Amino acid sequence: MSEPIASKFADEPDESTDSSVRLEVTVEGVAVLLLNRPERRNAFNARMILALTEALQSLAGAEGVRVVFIRGAGHAFCGGADLDWMRSAASWTEAENRADALELARMLHALHRLPMLTVALVEGPAFGGGAGLVCACDMAVATSDAVFAFSETRLGLTPATISPYVVEAIGPRHARRLFALAGRFDAAEAHRIGMVDEVVATPDELNARQEALAAEALIAAPGAVSDAKTLVRDVTGRAVDQALMEDTARRIAARRVSPEGREGLAAFFDKRKASWIS
């Protein structure tokens, strides 16, 4: 059962998570998940990944959260893997490395499966796993000086755990090119290939877009948003046959008779705000 936002979150950062991740949620249901290792360009280590997973699991089960923004503290989104963490991993066994990589995979899956809109707000570098984090969100806005890279192959590695989200975001052709060349690319290129939805000039404009997107997100019915996200996952790659047509007809019929559907249509015809709009 979902927990009320007031009992799960406060207006201050959530103290149940590691200090490398800070979570704030407003009473309106706008969550900001801050990667908080600015001295390391918010690079991942094992503790940070665990803290992110815990925060995302809390958000998934929290009643009233309507939109989640992910940002980096300082002037970096996420520099990828922490160098000390990478150095340690080089001495681990294959089994130990598999277990470690699975934690990152679980964190990304938790983000990708959140029922509410998720938005990456990217300033500065988003490398490796940080770029994967961007792709696992529903949308991304970046400042014009943001820089991206999938640099794993230059280290003799592959971007395996982030690959499902990268391929979904930019397609296999762009993914093959960027994985193979492993070089840096700017926000304009990220926008061209669909990894970033909008590019703004300054951090102040990024803050303004956060506020505007939060206001837009609060207009949509939360249950409908969750169902719409599931719909995209379920219809992607399927042939448009009788089974799919029947499935989609069933889904819209269920929505029309749902409490949200009835309230939304009534509000529209009555020319008033729906009950979920504050």
Return d(Cα 155, Cα 3) in angstroms, integer: 43
pLDDT recorded at residue 5: 41
Q: What percent of the chain has pLDDT over 90?
A: 91
Question: Could you report the per-residue pLDDT of 253-274, keeping only the tens digit for each?
Answer: 999 999 999 999 999 999 999 9
Q: Which residues of the chain have pLDDT under 70?
A: 1-18
Average pLDDT of the chain is 93
Taking CB atoms within 8 Å and a gap of at least 24, the contacts of 210-215 are 210/69, 210/119, 210/121, 210/141, 213/67, 213/69, 213/119, 213/141, 214/28, 214/30, 214/67, 214/69
- Strand partners of residue 184: 149
Residues with catalytic roles: 152
Contact 120, 133 (CB under 8 A): yes
pLDDT recorded at residue 84: 92
Query: Any idea how long the chain is?
Result: 278
* DSSP, res 11: S
- pTM of the predicted model, to two decimals? 0.92
pLDDT recorded at residue 26: 96
- Residue 108, number of CB atoms within 10 A of its CB: 23
pLDDT recorded at residue 4: 40
pLDDT recorded at residue 278: 83
Contact 56, 107 (CB under 8 A): yes
